[in-house]
C-alpha cells in the first residue's frame, strides 16, 4: 500500500461535514469573493500544521497554496474553486 492508498482512511467524515458547514457560511459570491474565504482556508491549513500561502490572483481575490512534502513517488494536486453563486 502506498501513501495515496492511505488517503481515504485518513479522512474524518465528521470533520469534513463541520468544515463544509463553516465554509458555506462565509460570503463568497462569484465576483465578490474577497479575502475572507481564502484566509479561513489558510488558517484551517495552518491549524493542521501545514504552511499555506496566499497568492494574489486578481483584485481582491487570492489563491491558497499549500504543499505537503512527501517521499519520492506519485504527486497529487487538489484544486478547487472557492466561490459559490447564490
Residues of the chain with pLDDT under 70: 1-3, 83-86
C-alpha 7/C-alpha 37 separation (Å) is 25
Question: For the chain, give me the number of helices (H) and strands (E)?
Answer: 3, 2
φ/ψ (deg, to 5) at 71: -90, 175
pTM comes to 0.75
Strands (E), 8-76: 53-58, 61-65
pLDDT at res. 72: 82
Model pLDDT, residue 1 = 53
Q: Alpha-carbon distance 4 to 22, whole Å?
A: 27
pLDDT of residue 86: 52
Parallel/antiparallel/unpaired status of strands 61-65 and 53-58: antiparallel
Q: What is the pLDDT of residue 60?
A: 79
Amino acid at each position: 500500500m502506498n501513501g495515496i492508498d492511505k488517503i481515504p482512511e485518513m479522512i474524518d467524515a465528521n470533520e469534513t461535514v463541520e468544515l463544509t458547514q463553516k465554509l458555506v457560511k462565509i460570503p463568497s459570491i462569484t465576483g465578490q469573493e474577497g479575502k475572507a474565504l481564502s484566509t479561513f482556508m489558510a488558517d484551517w491549513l495552518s491549524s493542521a500544521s501545514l504552511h499555506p500561502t496566499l497568492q494574489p490572483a486578481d483584485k481582491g481575490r487570492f489563491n491558497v497554496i499549500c504543499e505537503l512534502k512527501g517521499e519520492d513517488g506519485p504527486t497529487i494536486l487538489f484544486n478547487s474553486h472557492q466561490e459559490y453563486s447564490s
